[in-house]
Chain A
Amino acid sequence: MAERPSILARTWSTPVILIAILAVLALAAYFAGSNPFNQTIIEIFIRVVLVVGLYVFIGNSGVISFGHIGFTCLGAYMTAWLTMLPAIKKSKLKGLPDIILNNKLDYGWGLLAATIFAGVAAYVFGKVLMRLSGIAASIATFAMMAVIIQVYSNWDSVTGAQSSVVGIPIVRTVWPYFACAVAVVLVAYAHSISRSGLALRAARDEATAAAASGVDIPRERLIAFVISGAIMGLGGALFAHSVGVVTPDTFYLGLTFITLSMLVVGGMNSLSGAVLGVVVLSIIIQLLRWLEKGVDLGGATLSLPLGVQEIAIGVVMIAILMYRPSGLTRNRELVWPSKRLSGGTKASAPADGKTA
């Protein structure tokens, strides 16, 4: 009997290619040096973190979650609490515990705390929610997000309610964001080829058979939910440090829509799809923003009305779902072109378009 090559040996090129793509973006930002461009690349890295976070749960389990942005909200506020100047906190967020109120941590600790906090929250919610599946699970995640957002937009003394929390230290260099995006891609990849990740994907494609083969579906789902929740929290913290302002409204349907559409456009069931979806849609968004601002065409200024950006994304998303439901990557991973047709390419490619 021939020895079975390990899945790592067959698929290691995927994370390498994805990280290379991210590195190209980071270097472009570094050498361009202009501020708006830098900010755009930072935005892309944050979206990579968020969309890969979504992929870890949605892609591997096949359960559509509309609620993950709730964890992003948790992460963003956590880092805001920890890293803001004590003076600002004392005037705006009086209800915080004294130890938080009187201290100020470095943003690195803020990111770490946000990740852990969101992960713990995901564990608590997931412990209950992962017993559901299909549409009931989707709606329940929605309800979960509604609970989180409602609490954060009304708890005046701790979150400032609807008003925005300002004064979060802003990090302008691209490298921390790049590092987080790379780390998240590696974690997601490691999870998807781990025993738990493979079991979860088996359960996604053939739930009955997987359960019969001894896969504990709620447990595997919970593991993915916690990892993805933690990643979403990290994404939220990065977001907070990139703009310096957070409000609960930022983390609601709008952001859910953008991140989910990036995942769908790229291909829900593959890590490469998550990353490529972000890159492709971000380029489209950037072009449209540029057009909304107005372009000078031989004297006449052409500008698109506000809202065209979202309409275009919606139309792209519907078109992709119609004509290519498995996304741009067809749910396959990017791999190094290999001459051995039998081995590499098929390894991590699940069946097309099958979810839930």
Chain B
Amino acid sequence: MTALLQILFDALSLGSLYALGALGIALIFGVMRLVNFAHGDYISFCVFAMLWPSIDAAAIVFAGKLPTYLLVPLILLIGAGLSVLSEIVVFRRFRNANPATMMIASFALGFVIKYFLLMLYSSRPKSIDLWSNLSQQVEIMGARIPPLQVITIVVTIAILLALTAFLKRTRFGLEMRAAAENFTMARMLGVRANMVIMMAFAVSGMLAAAIGLILVTQTGTVDINMGANLMLVAFVATVIGGLGSLPGAVIAGYLIGAATVLMQVVLPPDARPFRDAFVYGAVIVMLIWRPNGLFSSKATKQRV
């Protein structure tokens, strides 16, 4: 029972991270058919924003010293800002390009951001102490669980609820959903295209910032590659969920989180290092079984 609870919490908290990442990617795909490879680098960027640029091995904490009630909004704002900026500077010019071109452009943008960070901070991982008391384990019903896991899960659920309310109850949300359904038609009916797309990028950037905050609290280290690995999984989750489907992305994120944790438990010790290989293998099988994902939206179906 306790072991089961432990697994459940592990799966939910890992799944939450993947779900948030997948949501950020799916939002943008929904409005402009862009698979944003740079998303993972937004995450790294937000984390590095807490440090003062220096190539020394020791991290000089700068914004990270702010009190929590200022730090969180600031990092969210940085995430949103970077994301919107990349829309204005780069992606706006690719509105009419085909998805493959946009995908490669975002791949390139991700590299630019990553090496920009490398230039300012060097490639060595640095340690940073942010809310580390949250990682000390407490006992809940016999299972030893760090409060951070609980917070991650609760925060994710809160974000999902808030986002749902935003999409269903506000004017922007309505416009965004209309744009995701049929962009051209929505424009003809008076939806302000630039506004909607910028809004989607802002929300997506904030999600990236939230992931960054959770990740850095969890690991206590800052690394220019920290966003990339999570982004790959989130990416896969978006595709499995059905590109453009927001609930699909979230569910697939949780599914992959659960699969990863389960593999860790179920696989024999010899095969455990290959856990990720098994997860990616499962993804390939899944794609063969349902190429359009579990919850495919009509817009992504291909004729041939």
- Chain B, 4-22, contact with A by CB distance < 8 Å: what is the 0/1 string? 0000000000000000000
**Which residues from chain A contact B273 at a C-beta distance below 8 Å?**
154-155
Any A CB within 8 A of the CB of B131: no
Any A CB within 8 A of the CB of B130: no
Kindly identify which residue among A66, A132, A146, A325 contacts B291, using a CB–CB cutoff of 8 Å: A132
**Which residues from chain B contact A66 at a C-beta distance below 8 Å?**
107
**Which residues from chain B contact A315 at a C-beta distance below 8 Å?**
108, 112
Kindly identify which residue among B115, B280, B284 contacts A128, using a CB–CB cutoff of 8 Å: B284
Q: CA–CA, A309 to B112, complex, Å?
A: 10
**Which residues from chain B contact A305 at a C-beta distance below 8 Å?**
119
**Which residues from chain B contact A25 at a C-beta distance below 8 Å?**
none
**Which residues from chain B contact A143 at a C-beta distance below 8 Å?**
236, 280-281, 283-284, 287
Of A32-40, A82-90, A192-200, A253-261, the one touching chain B: A253-261
**Which residues from chain A contact B283 at a C-beta distance below 8 Å?**
139-140, 143
Contact indicator B103/A138 (Cβ below 8 Å): yes
Query: In the complex where A135-B35, A253-B228, A318-B109 touch, is A356 in contact with B291 (Cβ < 8 A)?
Result: no
Query: In the complex where A261-B108, A305-B119, A355-B98 touch, is A207 in contact with B232 (Cβ < 8 A)?
Result: no
> Which residue of chain A has its CB nearest to the CB of B99?
A135
Interface residues of B in 93-109 (CB under 8 A from A): 93-94, 97-101, 103-105, 107-109
> Which residue of chain A has its CB nearest to the CB of B112?
A314
Main secondary structure of the interface of A (DSSP, over half): helix
Q: CA–CA, A135 to B122, complex, Å?
A: 33
Main secondary structure of the interface of B (DSSP, over half): helix
Query: In the complex where A128-B284, A307-B118, A307-B119 touch, is A257 in contact with B107 (Cβ < 8 A)?
Result: yes
Min CB distance B124 to A, Å, is 12
Contact indicator B280/A146 (Cβ below 8 Å): yes
Any A CB within 8 A of the CB of B292: yes
Query: In the complex where A136-B291, A311-B119, A315-B112 touch, is A207 in contact with B303 (Cβ < 8 A)?
Result: yes
Kindly identify which residue among B99, B107, B228 contacts A356, using a CB–CB cutoff of 8 Å: B99
Interface residue tally on B, bucketed by range: 35 or more
Contact indicator A151/B291 (Cβ below 8 Å): no
Contact indicator B276/A150 (Cβ below 8 Å): yes
Contact indicator B291/A306 (Cβ below 8 Å): no
Query: In the complex where A131-B291, A305-B119 touch, is A208 in contact with B304 (Cβ < 8 A)?
Result: yes
Contacts A314-B112, A353-B101 given; 19 further ones with Cβ under 8 A?
A132-B291, A133-B302, A133-B304, A135-B35, A140-B287, A142-B235, A143-B280, A143-B281, A144-B280, A146-B277, A257-B108, A261-B108, A306-B122, A308-B119, A310-B112, A310-B118, A315-B112, A317-B104, A355-B98
Pairs across A and B, CB under 8 Å, 8 listed = A143-B280, A146-B277, A147-B281, A150-B274, A207-B303, A306-B122, A321-B108, A356-B100
Residues of B within 8 A of A (CB): 35, 90, 93-94, 97-101, 103-105, 107-109, 111-112, 114-116, 118-119, 122, 228, 232, 235-236, 239, 243, 273-274, 276-277, 280-281, 283-284, 287-288, 291-293, 300, 302-304
